Structure 1
Amino acid sequence: MQVLERPWGRMHVRVEGDGPLVLLANSLGTDLRLWDDLLPLLPPGLRVARFDKRGHGLSDLGGAVTVEDLADDAVALIESQGGPAVVMGVSIGGMIAQALALRRPDLVRALVLSNTAARLGTPDSWAARIAQVEGQGLAAISDGIMERWFAPAFRATPQLASWRNMLARTSPDGYVACCRALARADLTADAPALSCPVLMIAGTQDGASPREVVEATARLIPNARLAVLDAGHLPMAETPEAFAAAVSPFLKEHAHA
């Protein structure tokens, strides 16, 4: 098991392969296993680094957190691998990727921003989510989250149970800490300063970050490309073949840049 020591505790990481570095950042309520089905479909000759956010997976909790704090954790992982990297993030992972590129452009070759935006939700919507988790636990919201994460066809498969369990078994404190980070995070004014190549991915059936929200952020970023998939919020898990087809040409173009 690979661990990166951070000031707040131990961060669980996994680095596989040899070649140009690609960093993957997970969504809220998932751990680094989110990318398992995608990895065999990516172009060969890449070194892929993944990590569990604070309070997720096998990482320590780490207390209160901001999106910028989470970006600093990603910076530490890239630096430990000699960077720079193509950074691929989904949902909050996409916000981490944006914050990372704004803070440390020297470490980012390109960005893949999946099912994310410069701002996700509102302070009121996150406050309501936090109150529900603190009052009832993650299991109480898991079915509703599954409807936001996945298209109906995928929700009818046996695979859904594993994703529901991953969410329900996340640390409530870690989940709430990231909800509070999202409630405060707004990169709208900063997004136009992203100067690296950017590929944004939207899902036609995304109930968490709807297509129009992703497209609005794509319009803020100079020369951002947009790919639209017939999938929900986590296309790397729901439709890994289609996701790989969308990102692989971009990776081939920029990972060796």
Structure 2
Amino acid sequence: MTARPRLGAVEFVLRDTTRPLLVLGPSLGTSVTALWGDAVGLLAGVRDSADDAQAAEGAQVAGVAGELDVIGWDLPGHGAAPTPSADELDGLSIADLADAVLGVVERAQAQRGDVGAPFWYAGVSVGGAVGQRLLLDAPDRVLGAALICTATCFGEPSGWAERAELVRRAGTPTQVEAAARRWFAPGFLDREPQVALRLLAGLQTADRFGYAAVCDAVGAHDLRGRLGAVGVPVVAIAGSADPATPPAKLEEIADAVPGARLQVLDGAAHLAPAERPQAVADLVRDLVRGRVTA
């Protein structure tokens, strides 16, 4: 690459160093705000008094249980990210995105006064792939990670290359119909049309070149056999109805990472934080409280 990719940065709740810092990552075609919006309040401000005493005993937990500083990042050309230049997208890799995420984190930490401190991470699909790279490439920076609806390898590169070429030529609206089938479990569109429509609207407006470059990066992502080196707590979260990264993909991650926990959410497909915000928030809070051990 000739230029570090510019990511969108979203400060959901950013206060001070008495609160653990949680970094959220998106799925391809989504903005982090649309994907995680319903879960953020549960992560940032819920007081769970019944569990406060237990949480206070966890050496890695600071502040009141359920109260986290929460920031997110957006892929190039998605959500809050600027329109990417050709230099930013040339040869884009998941490792490049992970490096750029560290830049987003450091800018947020400059406001908190703890630049370089370790943080917690939760990411979906490509955001989960970025989480895997952070765990391997910056092991001293990540306290633990929730890897959600993701994989160590997302399938044959040729399929991703075909999708990338179509989107470069005809735009992201070509992906809306297939995404609606992939992203949401049966019945979700009828039950929660506003949630589904905000996510699909973000896909339609995503930059086609940014989307295509991320497709190529996902196609090249392959960390099979490498996650045994991870030494921090990890929870792998799958959707029982996810056709893109079925539970077996998350089981592979949980089996590879020493001490990792696998959780399959019934009735969820590929965008679990949007479909099951309470369940995902509970699992992430368990991670931060030290209830998932490496």
Normalised TM-score (structure 1): 0.91
> Which range moves more in the overlay, 51-60 or 201-210?
51-60
Among residues 219, 231, 236, which one is paired with 1:183 in the alignment? 219
Q: Give matches, 1:11-160, under 5 Å.
A: 11-15=7-11, 16-18=13-15, 19-33=19-33, 34-42=35-43, 43-60=65-82, 61=84, 62-64=88-90, 65-80=92-107, 81=109, 82=115, 83-156=117-190, 157-159=192-194, 160=196
Moved over 3 A (4+): 7-11
Closer/same/farther in 2, CA of residues 75 and 127 from structure 1, 3 Å limit: same
The answer (yes or no) to whether the contact 1:22–1:86 under 8 Å persists in 2 is yes
Q: In structure 1, what is the Cα distance between the partners aligned to 2:139 and 2:248?
A: 27
Q: Name the SS of the counterpart of 1:37 in structure 2.
A: helix
Displacement after TM superposition at 1:90 (Å) = 0.7
The answer (yes or no) to whether the contact 1:92–1:182 under 8 Å persists in 2 is yes
Q: In structure 2, what is the Cα distance between the partners aligned to 1:181 and 1:103?
A: 16
Displacement after TM superposition at 1:254 (Å) = 7.3
Closer/same/farther in 2, CA of residues 9 and 135 from structure 1, 3 Å limit: closer
| 1:22 counterpart letter in structure 2 | L
Q: Deviations over 1:17-37 (max 9, x none)?
A: 331111111111111212110
Is it true that 1:174 corresponds to 2:189 in the alignment?
no
Q: In structure 2, what is the Cα distance between the partners aligned to 1:148 and 1:10?
A: 27
* Structure showing the higher strand proportion among its residues: 1
Q: In structure 1, what is the Cα distance between the partners aligned to 2:89 and 2:219?
A: 16
The answer (yes or no) to whether the contact 2:4–2:100 under 8 Å persists in 1 is no
Displacement after TM superposition at 1:189 (Å) = 2.7
Displacement after TM superposition at 1:227 (Å) = 0.8
Structure 2 residue ranges without an equivalent (≥5): 44-64, 110-114
- In structure 2, the residue matched to 1:223 is 259
Structure 1 residue ranges without an equivalent (≥5): 1-6
| 2:222 counterpart letter in structure 1 | D
Displacement after TM superposition at 1:10 (Å) = 4.7
Displacement after TM superposition at 1:195 (Å) = 1.1
Q: In structure 2, what is the Cα distance between the partners aligned to 1:63 and 1:29?
A: 16
> Which range moves more in the overlay, 104-113 or 213-222?
213-222
- In structure 2, the residue matched to 1:3 is none
Q: In structure 2, what is the Cα distance between the partners aligned to 1:244 and 1:10?
A: 27
* Alignment length (residue pairs): 249
Q: Who wins on radius of gyration, i.e. which is larger?
A: 2
What is the aligned-residue identity percentage? Answer: 36
Q: Name the SS of the counterpart of 1:164 in structure 2.
A: helix
Is it true that 1:237 corresponds to 2:237 in the alignment?
no
> Which range moves more in the overlay, 202-211 or 45-54?
45-54
Q: Deviations over 1:83-135 (max 9, x none)?
A: 31011111000010110111111100001100111111220220221233234
